[in-house]
Amino acid sequence: MRGSPLQGTLFSPAPRPRANRDIRLPGGKTLSTTPVFDTYWRFAAERQNVFFRRLSGSTPPWTEDPVLRSFRFTNVYRASDRVSQYLIRRVIYEGPQQEEEVFFRTLLFKLFNRIETWELLEARLGPITWRSFDFERADAVLGAAIQAGGRLYSAAYIMPSPLFGAARKHTNHLELLRRMMADHAPRKVASARTLREVFHLLRSYPSLGDFLAFQFTIDLNYSELIRFEEAEFVVAGPGARSGIAKCFSNTEGMGDDEIIYAVTRMAGQEFDRLGLRFQTLWGRDLQPIDCQNLFCEVDKYSRVMHPEATLEGGRTRIKQRYEARPVPVSQWYPPKWKLFPKA
């Protein structure tokens, strides 16, 4: 990769980051950073700048960073991504707001995590509600879509199939949702006392490992079904763990969640140290889920910017190319957050 036109400094020219800067944490532990850690904050600032430039209606390209212009990266704030925005606005907050209805719609959407799949079901079945949902018809609609060469699942992350004996993955996922509803999962979620408790409940169902159970927990927490602070619980996914390994040469045995919490707390001082102006989400600071996602995205970004940081056997390429969408997604967040987007 050396000599590649995509390798170089970030948008704002900056001195070469110092390797192995030690950060003393409350409690006495020390994090030893690598050059990728400075890139983590520069990436966050510039990716958020892209978000606001696009939202303001300016024309692409929205950055001079050659990697951001060439490859696809999620937004800094998870809730700002296109799919999350659709979930919040069109799935969670449209339709009946009883606990079983909100849970059912959210999980049905997230098991596929693809807007087109949701809209296909709506077009063929009508408004999606738990009380009127016909699992057999839905199975037939999705099966026909596959036969016609369509895709049902997002490429954002792998959705393992629960082992219920059906030949098709989507049939097994519909059965999983049916069983969750029969098990009164919505009531159990609504009765949970912490975000961690919601996570463990979802984790108890077949095929929902740590990563998916945590992601679904955050999605349900966008609704009025539960009202926990995002900051109270975090789980690192595989990409985030890889990003953490690239950002730190020594973590003194700290868990990935401890590191994410520590990085979340130090965000303001790190932006200041690097002379970066970070635009928050209309006053909402970075949350642990956002910093977790940033580790995942920087893991990808560093494959080009810091190829020397790739561990043996690690991925060396970024698969998804970026295609600019001139029309921005209008932003709408959970009303309980009390955010007021200006664009």
Tell me: the pLDDT tens digits for 317-343?
Answer: 666 676 767 666 789 999 999 998 865
Q: How much is the average pLDDT of 251-258?
A: 96
pLDDT for the residue numbered 166: 96
Decide if pLDDT at 74 tops 70. yes
Token digits of residue 48: 């958020």
Decide if pLDDT at 117 tops 70. yes
Alpha-carbon span 234 to 215, nearest angstrom: 9
Q: Is 326 helix (H, G, I), strand (E, B) or coil?
A: coil
pLDDT for the residue numbered 311: 72
Peptide bond into 61 cis (omega under 30): yes
pLDDT, tens digit (0-9, with 9 covering 90-100), for 197-229: 999 999 999 999 999 999 999 999 999 999 999
Alpha-carbon span 233 to 228, nearest angstrom: 9
**Other CB atoms within 10 Å distance of the CB of residue 301:** 26
pLDDT for the residue numbered 208: 97
Q: How much is the average pLDDT of 280-302?
A: 97
Q: How much is the average pLDDT of 153-162?
A: 90
**Distance in angstroms between the alpha carbons of the first and the last residue of the chain:** 39
> Which of 270, 303, 309, 244 has the alpha carbon at shortest distance from 73?
303
Burial class (CB in 10 A: 0-12, 13-18, 19+), 319: exposed
pLDDT, tens digit (0-9, with 9 covering 90-100), for 34-71: 999 999 999 999 999 999 999 988 888 899 999 999 99
DSSP letters, 130-145, are: TTT--HHHHHHHHHHH
pLDDT, tens digit (0-9, with 9 covering 90-100), for 75-96: 999 999 999 999 999 999 999 9
Q: Apex CA 176: angle with CA 172 and CA 178, to 5°?
A: 115
Prediction pTM value: 0.91
Give the pLDDT band (50/70/90) at residue 251.
very high
Q: Is 24 helix (H, G, I), strand (E, B) or coil?
A: strand
Decide if pLDDT at 165 tops 70. yes
Spans of all domains in the chain = 22-74+233-337, 94-222
pLDDT for the residue numbered 340: 81
Alpha-carbon span 325 to 80, nearest angstrom: 15
Alpha-carbon span 232 to 196, nearest angstrom: 8
